[in-house]
Structure 1
Amino acid sequence: MRKYETLFIFSPSLEEDTVKANVEKFKGVIENGGGTVDNVDFWGKRKLAYEINKFNEGYYTLINFTSDSELPKELGRVFRITDGVIRHLIVKDEK
């Protein structure tokens, strides 16, 4: 089991309730895949460093989790097929 962290950004056109429902969905993917969620940090709506898909801001969320090496691949697939996710990043935590 390794520690990972993922940061993803939702479109600002979504309602905050929809964003929080999707965060719960992603937590479910991690927990149903055999991982454990260590921390969820919802940053809210923030300005982007550069324009993405004609958006200048988005809803940021950071999740720290522990899992085997296959779960980040599945989580990345779920990010790609979820409407409203404009960017995501999953990295192994080296601490």
Structure 2
Amino acid sequence: MKKYELMYIANPQLDPEALKTLIADLNNVVTNNGGTILALKEIGLKDLAYEINKHRKGYYVWMLVETTPEGIAEYKRVIQITESVIRHIEIKEGE
């Protein structure tokens, strides 16, 4: 298994309960596909460098995970269709 840094920006208009559900759902995508979450940091609401989908702020979440290439592929598939996420990035550690 390989280590990946995952970061996503959630819609700032989500209520706190919906945000917790989103974070839990995305964490479950990693763990249900054989991955392990090594670190999770909810950075919080921050200003964006530029407007994204008419939003000037976003809720940042960062994770360090260990998973298989298939697990990261499933995470990417799910996060791309999640409307509450306005931007995301996945980086394989060491690259």
| Cα distance between partner residues in 2 of 1:38 and 1:85 | 22
Gaps of 5+ in 2: none
- Give the AA of the match of 1:67: T
**2:86 aligns to what?**
86
Q: Secondary structure at the match of 2:12?
A: coil
Q: What is the TM-score when the length of structure 2 is the normalising length?
A: 0.94
| Residue 23 of structure 1: how far off its partner (Å) | 0.7
Q: What is the TM-score when the length of structure 1 is the normalising length?
A: 0.94
| Cα distance between partner residues in 1 of 2:77 and 2:69 | 14
| Cα distance between partner residues in 1 of 2:41 and 2:17 | 15
Q: For 1:58-73, what aligned pairs fall within 5 Å after superposition? A: 58-73=58-73
- Give the AA of the match of 1:56: R
Q: Encode CA deviations 1:47-91: one digit per residue, 9 max, x unaligned.
A: 001110110001000011001111111101111111210001011
| Cα distance between partner residues in 2 of 1:47 and 1:17 | 21
Which of 39-48 and 16-25 deviates more? Answer: 16-25
Among all aligned residue pairs of Structure 1 and Structure 2, give the percentage whose two residues are the same amino acid: 37
| Cα distance between partner residues in 2 of 1:91 and 1:72 | 10
Gaps of 5+ in 1: none
**1:43 aligns to what?**
43
Q: Secondary structure at the match of 1:76?
A: helix
**CA RMSD in angstroms, aligned pairs only:** 1.2
- Give the AA of the match of 1:57: K
Q: Secondary structure at the match of 1:83?
A: coil
Q: Secondary structure at the match of 1:13?
A: coil
Q: Give 4+ residue runs of structure 1 displaced > 2 Å after superposition.
A: none
| Cα distance between partner residues in 2 of 1:84 and 1:67 | 23
- Give the AA of the match of 1:31: T
Q: How many residues align?
A: 95
